Every structure is written in C-alpha cells, then in structure tokens.
Structure 1
Amino acid sequence: MYILNYHYKNKIHLKNFLQKNHIKNSNKLFIQILHTGKDLKKVLKIKDFLERIFSKASILGTVSSGIISNEEIIDDDIIISFSIFKASKTLSKGYKNIDLEDILNDLSQNIIKSNTKLLIAFTNVFAFDSSNFLMKLNEKFPNLVIAGGNTGNYYEQINPNIFTKDILDCDLVVTTINSDVLEVKTDYLFNWETIGEEMIITKSDKATVYTIDNKKAINVYKEYLGDEITSNLLENAGQFPLIYTDSNVEIARGIIDYDNENGSITFAGEIPQKKKVKFGFANIDSIKLHNKQKLLSLYKNKQEGVFIYSCAARREMLGTYFEKEMKILNCLGPSSGLVLFGEFFHNKTCNCNNLLNITSTFVTLNEKELEEEISFKDIKIKTSKKDIKLNALTNLIKKTSEKLDENNYYLKQFKELVEESSIYSTTNEMGEITYVNENFEKSSGFSRKELIGQNHNLVRHPENKSSQFINLWETISKGKTWHGLIKNKRKDGSSYHVLSDIAPIYYKNGDFREYLGIRHDVTELEEYKILLKYELDNTSKTLADNLNYTKQYENAVNTSVAIIKIDKNLIITYTNDKFLELTQYKEDELLGLSWDKLLDIKHKNNGDFENISKRLNEGEVVNYILNKVGKNGETFITRSNFYPITNLKNETIEYINVLTDVTDIFNLNEEITNTQKEVVFTMGAIGETRSQETGLHVKRVAEYSYLLAILSGLSEEDANLLRQASPMHDIGKVGIPDNILNKPGVLTPEEFEIMKTHAQLGYEMLKHSKREILKASAIVAREHHEKWDGSGYPRGLKGENIHIYGRITAIADVFDALGHDRIYKKAWPLEDIYKLLKEEKGKHFDPNLIDVFFNNLDKFLEIKELLDD
C-alpha cells in the first residue's frame, strides 16, 4: 500500500493528478477529504466529483483544526489523502441520529469482518459520546484496533461536518480496512509530566467535572494557576490538563468548555469519579528526547503508510516543536492525518480502548515489509522567542516538580513508617477526631467510621484524672508537645494503656492545622506491674517489705521513640533529640560516625551486625532487639526497626532506624521472674512451716528436682522452671486443719482422706495464673502424689500420663522427707531409703527416673550434705 496526499487547487488540476498517478476505481481505495471548515460548499462539490469517479472506493470527509500532510501542517486549504491498497479492502459508513446499540449491531452485522485489521472512526465532538462508543465497541470486539478521534474545532466552535458518500453531517463515520496480509501497529507520543499534589475527582458526570477534592473545579484551577486564569479558561488553561492512569496508560484530559455559574469544567473525554489526578505540563526537552527513542524502540525499517491523529492542545502547547514532531513521525513513512480534540487508541496489552488527549497517536500500515531502514534526518525548525521562553519555563517547572515529588515521596514514606509503628490520630481545634490509622482501630475496637467526628473521650477510661487532661490541653494550646501515660477503654469495655505524644501542627504561615497524637501501647508493662502487686499482696504479710520496690516500675512507661538516619554506607546522618537523650552524646559527636560504633560488641561477635547489614543491602525491613552502649559506657536495650527509604526509581538512598528503649521492660521482666521465684519459695516455705517443717526441705526438693530433670534429658529452661516451681508442691497444706496436719500419731482413714485433698487444693490455688512459674507449680502440687502404677491421688493417673514434673518431684520429695525427722516419725537411715526407692520402682516411681537417680547418687548426696538442717 501507499499514501498520496493532494493539495487541492482546482478540478482540472485534480484530474491531472489522478491520471498522472494512475489512481483507479476500487474497493481497495480509501479517500479522505480533509478541510478546516472555511468553504464547505467547495468540499461537497469535490466529494460529488470523486464519488462519480470512484464509486467503489471508501470516501469520508471531516473538518480539522489542522491537517497533517507528510511533513506539512495545513490550516486553510483542502487536502485529499489517497490510501491505495493492493491486498486490503476498505468499507465506510456514516451514522446520524441513530441509537448506539443500533450502530453497534450494524457494525457487527455489516461492517466489521473476521479479517478487519483496523477501524478508523471520526465523531462529532459536539453531538456524540465517543467515550461510551469506545467502551461498548471494546466489549463486542476486544481485539479490534481502532484509531481516529473527535473532530471539529472547539476553540472556534466549528461544526465538524463529517460525511461519507451517502450521508452528510454525520455523528459518526467509520472506515474498516480488511485484509489477510496487512500488518497494523498503533502507539502514541505523550511525554507530558505531572506536577503538584495528587487530587481526587469528587463529583463528575462523564466528561464534566464539578468538584475536585470537594472544591469547585474552576476554583481548583484558580488556586493553582491564578485568579485571572478563568477569564479565558480555554485559552489559558488548556495547556495544563489533568492526568490520570488507566490500565497502565497515562491519560490526559484537556479543557473544552466550562461554566462559571456552577464552577464545572468539561474536558475532552470522561474523567471517572474518584479518579486520582494531577496537573500536567509539557517538558519540551523530555518530549524531544523520548520521541525518537520511542520510535526507534518500535521500528527498524520504514513503513508503507502512517496515519497520524494529534491533539489541538498539544499543538498549542508545543508551538513550533509540533512541526518537528510531525516531521519525525513522517520519517516512519508517507503520512496523513488530522489535529483533533481527543484521540482514539487501542491498548493491545490489555485489549482495551482509550480516549486520549494531548497525544500524537499514530497507526502504521504494511502489506509487505520494506527493507529501507529508518533515519531521522537533521530537522531544523526556526525557533521563536516564545518557544525559547517556553522551553526555559518548562525546564524550571520540571526541576521544581522533581524536587517536590522527591520530597513528597520521602515524606509519604516517613508518614507510612510512623503510621505503621504507632497508634496515630488527628483532631481539629475543637478536639474532634478527623483521622485515625488502622492501629488505632485495632487497639480501641472502634471502626474509623465510629471515631471520626467524635472526641477522644469515647476511648478514655473513667479512672483517668481530669487534672491530667486539663494539663494536656494547656500544654498543646501553648504550641508545645504533651507527653504522658493515658489509660483508655476499648469498645468491649476492657482497658489498655498508651504512652502518648500529642502536639499541634501548623501551616507554614503559622495558622493552626490540626492536633497530632502518636501513641505506643504499653498495656503489657502496666499489667505486669498490677499483677506483681496483686500476687505479692496476697502471698504473706511477711513479704510486705518486698512490695515497696514495685514503685520503681512506675517510671518505666516514660519511654519514647528515638530516630536516626543512616546512609548506604551505614554512616549516621541525622539524630533526633530522643536518641541524643538515650546515648548522652551531642549531635556533632554522632554525625559521620559509623552506626555500629554504638553497638554492643556481642552483636558483632554473634553475627547480628553482619546479618543486619546484609538484609538492609537486600532492601528488607529489619527488626532486632539490640544492646547499645552510650557515651557514659552504660548499656541500654532497644527494639530497633530499620526501614529502607527509596527514591522514585525504587533505589535505596538511606535507612531510617526507629528505636524504642526497652531497657526498663527487660529489667522489669527479670525482676518479675525473680519476684515470682521469691513468691513461690516463700509460699512453699509457708506451707511447710504450717506442718512444722523447715524451709530447707523446699530448697532441697528444688535442687534435687533440678538435678534429676537435667540428668533425665530435660532442657536447661524446663529444668530451671521445675526448680522454681517445685517448692510449691505442698502449698495445699495451708488448707488442712492443724489437728490433722500436725497430728503426731498415725492418721485415721477419714483423716488421711482429708490430708490427701491438699494436692487438689494446691492446684486450685494456682490454676488461674498465666505466669509460667505458677502454672508449673500448679502441675507439681496436683501430681507429685500420683504413682506410676495408677494407685496414687488425687486423680489416679498412670505411667507417662503423669506429668514429668510430678514424677520427678515425687522422688525428690520422698527421698528428702524420709531422710529427716517429721512430727509423726524419725529420720530413716539412708540404706532403708534406698531399699524403699528400689522396691517402689515401677510401682510408686517412674522406673527410668529411679535408674537415673541411683546412677548419679553421689551428686544427690552432695546436695543433701550442703543443705542439711
């Protein structure tokens, strides 16, 4: 195939052109009569003339705000473009005042064939909904390539007068090219860039946008482009379209109409409601660079023909460079086309149709492959002063926009980091909640919808003192940050504690914007403190002096978040005040220092530092508990979260290290464990004291149990837990009457039944605790009188159904009890004790444990000698 463009002069000249080029009447001929609407009568006479000569050809005509003829752009004359195919047939039809469904049915039945490679469509921009047409057409023919666009002249309000041989002033004309050999490719040049903040279309109806970010659309243009912009919005703002993304295609929408009365703007194509948009601008340098690069990536050899459909707003914005862009496209092959008000494009990647704006859309056609390679000759266009100024302006906009985007991207990551690691909310000046993050919803049990517009009193616990909130409001009202612990109430009525930082946020001009609250859940710490106090209060009055130290933990909640920034070489580039407070260093002492200099040496020796560095280098988010060493040489413990910060190219530029000082929590856990040990031992001692036995019995049983556990293969952790729990084996005796517990003689059967209840009593006292030590103590208390053969009490368990803790403590308790005086008996000789243990092997006692005991008897005797009464 090939394209011939004829610049109309007169009928005789046209006849000579046709004869000279041997153009014949055929259904393989596609004729386009392209004009600018200046002399419609002349155009129609040309149509009639051509129709008489080429009755078999497809003929259509349309108005354009610019005609593309090879390298030229024609504004005032008539161009007749002849597309002459050798192996492809063409078919045209026009539609006027016909329902869309009827159009689609007719296309399906009579126009579009199984071998249709391309459908060219032109619509009346004033009378036809092209967006809906493209969508419905795509539903019926998802693989069909479409090109063309909206014709007419919005700037001068010139009706497009599109026509075919049969129908004038159509709403829609189509031409199909049907072939078994034709190769069709379509793409577009855009390269507009976005600038400014992302906005949301909050109210729209097809192509008319009423509000953006809940503001009138015209007012948004005024806000960003100046008040004078609306004096002639079409002329002044057309170069700043709105841009959004659909199916990975950037779509621009230029202004074609507006209504000052209701503040709406109509664009050259639909912008769906809730779409995120940005303003766009033309970066001339970027367009120059990327146009050639894109074409070279798509094509190696010349094409037989090129149809070009470009946008009037693009032409207006690019100035003289638009001529160069057309010349570049013509390097692909002979071309013809139009300047339109919306370009049709079929995206083969997702098989969807798009109505584009501000692009140069093009279609290349080949019936056979050409061998001539593409070459972009040096195209020189005279540049005006206006173009030079425009180029400088767009460069300035680009650099400013890049910096703004980078800062916004960085701030977005920073905000996401804070939101992810804290309970976050904002309020207005009246204290009404305007935003909460997901962590706030999870912690409170309330949904975002339930919280927005409410006061934080909704979640505050009634136990909080009113004076605390008076102080809070006084502090933040003065522009300062308030720090403190607040007890909150969840939706289900349960309570939780948050360490809070609340501060006012201001605009650059000093006006109030909002109050910001960042919180960290410290409920577990507070519950530990409360539980510890409860358990100690209920143990014994003899422990009263020990309870005083719980007050030391009241300050443990006064923790805060420290932040440092580290470059890719792990050098500290920033520290906040909290980090300086933690480390006792000054800022200038830390900046430029390698991050690992503050790390405890153990993390280097055990490979932690190497592992963190490796994972950071791979772009991971890293969480670690790390020991740090401050300036004074003291070690503190931190929960350290490392977050890679990336630029727009997803390249890591630095790391943010968020540290929470958990030293007090770790110390508290250690204190709690030690206190629990003391509680367990003291309670065990109390139980033994009631039966007039010494506290050394529980110590010996604890050590025997630990040794036997280790020797029988239990882990150090489990063995140590048993050592801590076993002193409570007889705690249930506190519930046995003294006349039975301290009876010097043999108990009656009835009295023994009462005595046996101490095992279950001990379990009932301890079973509700969630602490590991007391849970283990409950097991020991209930099961240390169970016997291997099932004859024990209280439940008659047998064999390995008896917990290993119970089986071990049974041996330790009997071995120690028989070897010491009791109120009802004298101490047995060791040989008699050994004899009993061996006789009860497999009956009372676990046979394997008895073997372990006798194989290591010397170690048990060392403990007996060391802790003897």
Structure 2
Amino acid sequence: MAIFKKSSSKSNTVKLKPWKVAIIDDEADVHEVTKLTLRKFTFENRGLEFLSAHSAKEGIALFEEHRDIALAFVDVVMETDDAGLRLIDEVRNVQKNFSTRLILRTGQPGQAPEEDVIKQYDINDYKAKTELSSLKLKSCVYSSIRSYRDIKTIEAGKRGMEEVLKSSSSVLESQSLAQFGSAVLKQTLTLLNLNNSVLYISTQHTDLYGHTKMTVLGASGDLIGLCQPGISQEIPPDIEADVKKVLETKVHYQSDELFIGYYPSGKDGHNILYIKLNEPLDVVKRKTLEMFASNVSVIFQNLTQKEDIQETQKELIMVLSDAIEMRSKETGGHVKRVILMTEFLAEKLHMTEEFIETIRYAAALHDVGKISIPETILHKPGKLDPEEWEIMKTHAQKGYELLADSNRIVAKMGAIIAKTHHERWDGKGYPEGLKGDDIPVEGRIMAIVDVVDALLSKRCYKPAWSEEEVKAYLQENAGTQFDPLIAHVMLEHFDKIQDIRAQAPDED
C-alpha cells in the first residue's frame, strides 16, 4: 500500500471550513441559547457556522441557498401548527436533500405525537425543547455531524468511483502518448475538482542497456511550456529533484502544497503524477486519485509498448526508403519531401486523421519496388530504351508484392501507393491502366507529389524545372495525367509546397 508523507512546515496552517448548523425556530431566545451553548464546539478541528431562520418559509430558503448544511434544528410549531413538518417534507422530498441531519424540536410535545412523527417523516431525532440540556445538546450535535460526515464521505466515494470508471474509459480512447497525456490531465482536473492547480505527467523508463529517460506527457498552468506537441522540454531542477526523491523512495509524497503520486509501470517503468495544490487532498480525493492513477498506469504501459513498436516500424521504413533512394541515386531529400508534401495535401483534401497519420509514413514506400531493378537501368544517364522502360515499369507491381502480405496499416497503404502512383487520371498509366476515381486516392496524391518533386529537382538525366514551368505542366495535365481536384489544390498552395521542399533540400 502506498504511503503518504505529510510535511511539517505548514501542516496545520490551512483553516478548515466550519460545519453549518441551521436553527429554524420562531423564538429568538432558542437561537441565542443554542448559539451560546455551542459557541466553543469543534469537531475534527472544525467549528460551527450558525444559520438562522424564524419561520418554515425562511428555513426552506435557507436550505435552497446552503446545500451543505450538516445539521438543522427545526421547530414543529411556527407560522402554523405543522410548519416544521412541512419543511421536513420539502427538504427531503422536493429538494432531495437526504444528507442533512434533521432534529425536530417542540415546546408542545403532545401536539405532534413522537411515534407518529418519527414514523411518517424522515427525521433523525425528535426532542422536546426541555430535554436538550447543555450536555445533551452537545452530544446530539456530535452524533449528528459525525453521521453527516460519514454520509458525505460515502457519497463522495461513490461519485469518485463513477468518475474513475468514466475517466478511465476516456483515457482508454487515447491512441498515442500525446493524446494520453492530455486525457489524463483533463480527467484528473475534473476528478479532483482542482482550481488554479498545476499538473503534469512524467515517466521514467530504464531500458535493457540501463538508459533512463524522463518524458513530459502533459502539462497545464504555469508548466504548460514543458509539453509542446511532440516536444518534451527540460524539467525545472526543483521539480526534477522532488520527482527523483519519489522515484528513489517509490512512495507517494503529500504536503499541503504538493502531491507527487508514484505509480510503477511494469518492471522498470515509473509514472509520476505531480500536482501543485491550493489545499491538501482529503482522504476521498486521495483514494480516488489512487484508483484512477493505478488504472492509468496500466494504460500507459500498454500505450508505451504500442508506440515503441510503431516508432520502430517507422524508423525501419525510413531506413529502408533512404537505402532505396541511395541505390537509385535520387536527389538526397526526395523521400523526406514527398512525406511532407503528401501529408500536407491529405490535410487540404480533408482526409481523416488516421489517413493523414498513415500516409505520412506510407509515402516513403512509394518506390520500394526499385530494389528489384538492375542498377544499369536505375543509373542510366540518358533516356531508357523500350525494353529498359518495360523493366523499369515493373517496380510498381514489385513494390506492391513486397508489401501486400502485411496486415500493418502503413504497409497496406504503402502497397497501394507503390502499385498505383504511376496510374493516370485518363487511364493511360501503369501497371493496370486504372482510370479516374478507380485509382485509390493515396495513389492519386502520390502521383502528383512524385512528379512535382521530380520536376523541381535536378536529376542525372535532366536539369531542375522552374516553378513557372512546373505550374504550367500541372495546368496542362490536370484531368489527363492528374486528378483535377488534387492538381487544383497543389496549384492553389504551390508557395507552401515550395516551403515544404525547402525543409529537406538536396545534398550536393
């Protein structure tokens, strides 16, 4: 079980809110005597705040304004003989307040028989005013407030459990660590009802070779700059020192100003939840957070493994693509440029996020089939003869065959792109002569990106074309070689395309 430490410096400086006690009675003396008797009363380091009403009507308004009354003394006879009873009915059955402890007091015991009242109305005690001596009054208040506290704890625990389940479901929908971090922050803030507090999620993982990494997954408040999309900044030294202490002790740390939750993730992983507090976490919030963060820890471990696998696949794709590019002696940044350009066009064509994320990596595989083409053809400085050209064209089908058996989404799209990026809108392309919308959209996007980048680049068999020449070529071939809509988008954003290409220039 996790251990919570309490700091000694300011452990008793936070002033707790008093318990609210309502006195609803038409006799002014009853108010004064009750307040005088209980003026020094405390329970769990909390005093009393007295709320007064002199009629049932005022009492009902009091309950509407104050939803956190712990105890109410209610006179039976006020503006009518049963005014107090009607108030009880209103509070319980209309306002649906079942937490406040209600004690009926009467100066005329015979007028409302005790057994009938207790049986018919949801009250917690029924006393004649003469019964409540100083000692008995205090005893009554102790037991009532203790009961109220327990009821509120149970209610809060129930809500907390509901929020844990709801929040965990929300976090489970995360598909990446970045989304995960944002989801954790949002749900934790909601879960704990924290105001003006700062949270961030960090993880530490030691791999097979003993390398340790601390990564910021999400941040808010004055630490928001530590977690920009895709970037983890250096953690401030004071925060890092606090986190390292928790990692060393492997237990939670709790003070009035700070909570650092420690949640192990697998054998070597550690999740840290760092929260700046405006006031100490109470027992219910702390236990709720414990349950939530334990669930989050398991989710994080699964997401980390998933993302590690995905990143490894993407890195291998880039290595393979670069190797093919070097073998083909294409311009140095061709693969990097087509990745950025296809992603940009996919966004402008309003494709789904999943499609954009996938084409970002699948685009690198467009020429994977060239691995089967002899170097004498790949490196020929002049124009290919008809026989050589037929061999060159086989790279589209070969690329498809290399990738088609994979069930991975990037490889699946890569196979489609490899096979269809030389098809033409008018049906005169290869290898299958597909026409118009029969060509998959990923193939149509790559078709225009590959040609535009090739035309704008210097190759062993040609000089680079000017921007004006390439634009003219696009306009001339829109609707024949290229999808006219994609050609229009490319022309509309040609300045941006040039900016993107500048990010990955050719190497001399």
TM-score range, shorter chain: 0.3 to 0.5
Is the strand fraction higher in 1 or 2?
1
Greater relative contact order (Cα 8 A, min sep 6): structure 1 or 2?
2
Structure in which a larger fraction of residues adopt helix: 2
- TM-score (norm: length of structure 1): 0.27
